[in-house]
Structure 1
Amino acid sequence: MPVKKKRKSSGSEDPSIRKNKITSYCRTQTPGRLLNTDDQFSSKKCLAWFYEYAGSDDIVGPESMEKFCEDICVEPENIVMLVLAWTLEATNMGFFTKEEWLKGMTSLHCDCTERLQGKLDYMRSQLNDPVLFKNIYRYAFDFARDKDQRSLDMDTAKSMLALLLGRTWPLFPVFHQFLEQSKYKVVNKDQWCNVLEFSRTVNTDLSNYDEDGAWPVMLDEFVEWNKVRIAL
């Protein structure tokens, strides 16, 4: 989950932190203590776990989020962090509220670091379900955008697309190159959703692309740009 810029009240953040820092791999995890399978989930323990990171702010912010990721042995940019945010129904990138934490961790039955580490593979497996992946993909648009904007700025869009499609869509490197040289400064929700549909239904050689279909102009332009690129 790419780290979102801090709120103004928390000070400024180096914008280079957010640029093109994408990975889909988890660092080697340090085995946690063995959990007794008879242990019951504890809301009180879960709340205390939340305050280990939130402190007196009642919210886990960017700096605390980095410590949280370090503790569970996951890079902030790892896609499993996006799945976790989706599970918690988090509304702002880089922040978990107390309500989001308690609701989401309760659904995961996690009240400590070791329990959450034990759920990471399960959360990754959800990405293999086409329906769940589509839900996570659509969630990512609203999660990543600035809430006073209806579209994603292009840098954020490229980073999130790399995170979500970079491992599985063979044409992604070419599409990313197209975005890099395009006139587009933002990606709207219709374009965002159609990129996923395009990646799932259009052949890698674009042979079944329907020019008369209801694709956004951005994708029509991508197909034309790619034809010219190949012809050169």
Structure 2
Amino acid sequence: MARPLKANLKQQFISITETNSTTATAWLEKYKWKLEDAMNAYLSNGGVAGEIDETNKGVTLNDIDEDLVKIYEKYQDGQNKEIIDIDGTFQYLEDLGIDPEDMISLTLSYFLESPSTGIFNKSSFLTRWNNEQINNLKDMKVYLEEYQKRINEDMKEFEKIYMFTFDFIKSNRIDKTVNYELSISYWKLLFNQRPEFQNDTWERLEQWFKFVEDEYKRDFSKDSWKMFYYFVKDIISQDPKEFKDYDEMSAWPSVIDEYVEYLRENQLLIE
């Protein structure tokens, strides 16, 4: 096959699956450069098998603690042993004593670089825990509780997990947006962790949730998700009463401008 055609197929694969060049090449070569077959196989596999993480590259079972391997194998998917699927994830959380609806469940997914809700990649699972020299459920729980504290105390860490969440909660890799109701659920989960987002700021967030649910009723792009975080951090939390640093001429997503207008129309924002 001509090199320009291969490059075009690879670019299409990357554009649709949002994976990297190395992974795209590997899957296309596996399916003899048949784009549809390669994408279907990749996505049906959870979009994780074959994914190459540079921090995990070269890791073999010989490098991993045997007890940790046994933990992974307890939860691995019966059909695809490269992942822990939804059933295994629920059992893993239950054995850890973690409520799937609790923030620490999201922290676990962030720590293990979960590609989507309910999925853990074998390579990341084994490597991340092995790097921390943890090979039992009790120590995993202790580590996660300490890690959660770091996220709650460090704004940079909090920002990282916030940005991670958008891709994590997408229905699949092809989607470019996240459902607005699901977005609200995760905003409540995330912003409730930080003290600077409580009291008057939380009141504004509740008004945002109501605006999105009752008025906006549209899904959110990655850019809108990202910019809303900065709007909360730099505008709302700095001056919840008046939004004195808000400039409607700045490049905020339209949904944020609509929210501010909504507050003004309902006499909820002092000017």
| In 2: Cα distance, 1:111 partner to 1:77 partner | 25
Matches within 5 A, 1:180-219: 180-202=213-235, 203-208=239-244, 209-219=246-256
Aligned equivalent of 1:224: 261
Cα 1:105/1:80, change in 2 over 3 Å = same
Name the CA distance, whole Å, in 2 between partners of 1:108 and 1:198: 35
Cα deviation for residue 206 of structure 1 reads 3.5
Distance 1:199 1:231 in 2: 16
Task: String of CA shifts for 1:68-87, please: whole Å, max 9, x gaps.
Answer: 11111110111112122111
Match of 1:174 in 2: 207
Residue of structure 1 in register with 2:181 after alignment: 155
2:78 equivalent to 1:53? no
Unaligned 5+ runs, structure 1: 1-6, 10-40
Mark the CA change 1:155 to 1:107 in structure 2 (over 3 Å): closer, same or farther.
farther
**Change in CA separation of 1:229 and 1:108 when aligned onto 2, cut-off 3 Å:** farther
Distance in 1 (alpha carbons) for counterparts of 2:69 and 2:77: 11
Q: 1:143 to 1:132 in 2, by over 3 A?
A: same
AA aligned to 1:192 is W
Please give the alpha-carbon distance, in whole angstroms, between the structure 1 residues aligned to 2:248 and 2:89: 45
- CA deviations on 1:23-58 (whole Å, 9 max, x unpaired) are xxxxxxxxxxxxxxxxxx962111100111125342
Amino acid at match of 1:134: E
Instruction: Quote the Cα distance in structure 1 between the aligned partners of 2:179 and 2:268.
Output: 31
Q: What is residue 25 of structure 1 aligned with on the other side?
A: none
Which aligned pairs between 1:59-138 and structure 2 lie closer than 5 A? 59-127=83-151, 128-138=153-163
Matched positions, count: 196
The normalised TM-score by structure 2 is 0.66
Shift in Å, 1:167: 4.4
1:231/1:100 CA distance change after superposition, 3 Å: closer
RMSD of aligned Cα (Å): 2.4
Structure 2: state its 5+ residue gaps.
1-42, 46-62
CA offset at residue 155 of structure 1? 2.1
Structure (1 or 2) with the greater helix fraction: 2
Deviations 1:117-136 (A, max 9, x none): 11122111232211111111
Matched residue type, 1:198: F
Larger Rg, first or second structure (1 or 2)? 2
- My pick for the range that moved more, 88-97 or 205-214, is 205-214
Give the Cα–Cα distance (whole angstroms) in 2 for the partners of residues 206 and 43 of structure 1: 55
- Paired with 1:228 and 1:185, the residues of 2 have a C-alpha distance of 20
Deviations 1:142-178 (A, max 9, x none): 1111211111121221122111114443122111111
Q: Give the secondary structure class of the aligned counterpart of 2:266.
A: helix
Q: Using the alignment, how far apart are the partners of 1:186 and 1:91 within structure 2? A: 20
Deviation of the 1:207 alpha carbon: 2.9
Asked which structure has the greater RCO (Cα within 8 Å, sep 6+), the reply is 1
In the alignment, the residues of structure 2 paired with residue 194 and residue 201 of structure 1 have an alpha-carbon distance, to the nearest angstrom, of 10
**Runs of 4+ residues over 4 Å off in structure 1:** none
How far is 1:216 from its partner?
1.0
